[in-house]
Amino acid sequence: MANIHYPGPETIHRHVLANGLTILAYENFASESVVVEGLVRAGALGESADQAGLAAFTTALLDRGTAQHSFADIYEALEGVGADIYFSCDKHTADFGASSLVEDVDLTLTLLAESLREPTFPAQQVAQIRGQTLTSLVMRANDTGRMARLAFHELLYPEHPYGRSVTGYPNTVQAITREEIIQFHQDYFGPQGMIITIVGAIEAEKAVEKVTAVFGDWHNPQQKPLPAAPPAPRPARLVRTHIPMPDKAQSDILLGLPGPLRTAPDYLDASLMNTILGVFGMMGRIGQSVREEQGLAYYAYSRLQGSLGPAPWFAGAGVAPDDVEQAIAAIRAEIKRMQEERVPAEELADSQAFRIGSVPVSLENNSGLASVISDLELHGLGLDYLQHFPDLIRAITPERVQAAAQKYLSTEQLAIAVAGPQAAS
């Protein structure tokens, strides 16, 4: 695809308001819809260990009542026009968004602004969200995949905020008070560092005007910068944990180690290496070996989560309990092969074509466009990044892939978490 087809500085309109909010607007008149995607620097890094779940709790309550509208009012208004707003939370940001027809953009932007700026945190809604969260945590305790993820992060990131559950734990969620929720909102929700991307059938200048109208006068002099994620060292050796779940038929495995920042100069080398290892085709080499050739797994894959902090590279598999050790050995063997042998040119070319071809697919709708454009801003990649992306991927050589595998992977300095029944002796 020619560069002109990719969004870039010529077509992404970027405006920074005096209060620190960055607006990105992109026109797409292929449909009558508009998507808004945004973030506030109010993630779980702002909570202490004994408040685990506070950021997520706060974010879940944003649209549960504002100074102008009750929860019922908000959703009656949205349902009446087929529009939608949402809020979610991760380590670094509280995320939000909306989708609607172009004629309803004023409504969705107004409700987003009210929810972010003036939530009232009604006591009844606090109790309801607490109950829903505690129910979800009970369900987590009965899910091998979720428990493997929880144990993996706790093992890989001891005494580190990445080791804590964003959702929290039954004891921490039960203890969070409405006053702590109000304080967290006052501390971290504000326009400084905020990003709003608006994509769809609306002129860019008009989109900027509409966002400015509802957010431009927002100021929070008390807004604190979110703490940065500290570095996370690799395990000194192979460390392992098992969460016994004897009533389950499947075991879930996660193994990995801290990965590179999204802004690392060789991040794309590591990312393409991971595509070869556990993504492309039938979940890459790991899927081919563990699932297809050895028939050990229901699924097997790997993932690299480029982030603002030391998010993990990890591989995962779902297997019969008696096949856990063989599956772990097979994954480690593929890691070793990636480190010791250069990728054949044809295999590299296939994965490069896959990565280059996946970008236009991700940009086919307004949601995909908004997500990608927001990421460009969040990670400071530059508005012309997509236009250079195909050349950046094509420039990666077998030597660079191998170097990334040697730098970022290990067969020994790994955290391994398994959740499920014990293997039969």
**Residue 181 to residue 10: CA distance in whole angstroms:** 42
* Burial of 371 per CB tally in 10 Å (0-12, 13-18, 19+): middle
* SS3 state of residue 82: coil
The answer, yes or no, to whether residue 262 has pLDDT greater than 90, is yes
Contact 119, 64 (CB under 8 A): yes
- List the structure tokens of 338: 């990636």
Q: Give the single-character DSSP code of 282.
A: H
Q: What is the pLDDT of residue 3?
A: 44
Contacts with 45 (C-beta within 8 Å, 6 or more apart), sequence order: 91, 92, 161, 226, 227, 228, 229, 309
Report the mean per-residue pLDDT for the chain. Answer: 96
The answer, yes or no, to whether residue 4 has pLDDT greater than 70, is no
DSSP H or E stretch at residue 271: helix 267-278
Question: What residues form DSSP beta bridges with 36?
Answer: 98, 198
**Residue 179 to residue 46: CA distance in whole angstroms:** 16
**pLDDT tens profile 172-220:** 999 999 999 999 999 999 999 999 999 999 999 999 999 999 999 999 9
* Burial of 133 per CB tally in 10 Å (0-12, 13-18, 19+): buried
Residue 31's pLDDT band (boundaries 50, 70, 90)? confident
**Residue 100 to residue 86: CA distance in whole angstroms:** 12
- List the structure tokens of 201: 């059938």
* SS3 state of residue 258: strand
The answer, yes or no, to whether residue 284 has pLDDT greater than 70, is yes
The answer, yes or no, to whether residue 150 has pLDDT greater than 80, is yes
DSSP H or E stretch at residue 127: helix 123-140
The answer, yes or no, to whether residue 60 has pLDDT greater than 70, is yes
Give the end-to-end CA distance of the chain in Å, rounded to a whole number.
56
**Residue 54 to residue 177: CA distance in whole angstroms:** 9
Q: What is the pLDDT of residue 201?
A: 97
Q: What is the pLDDT of residue 282?
A: 84
Q: What is the pLDDT of residue 425?
A: 58
What CA dihedral angle connects 90, 92, 94 and 98, to 10 degrees?
-90
Q: What is the pLDDT of residue 123?
A: 98
Cβ count near 222 (within 10 Å) = 11
pTM of the model: 0.95
**pLDDT tens profile 359-415:** 999 999 999 999 999 999 999 999 999 999 999 999 999 999 999 999 999 999 999
Q: What is the pLDDT of residue 2?
A: 45
Question: What residues form DSSP beta bridges with 302?
Answer: 315
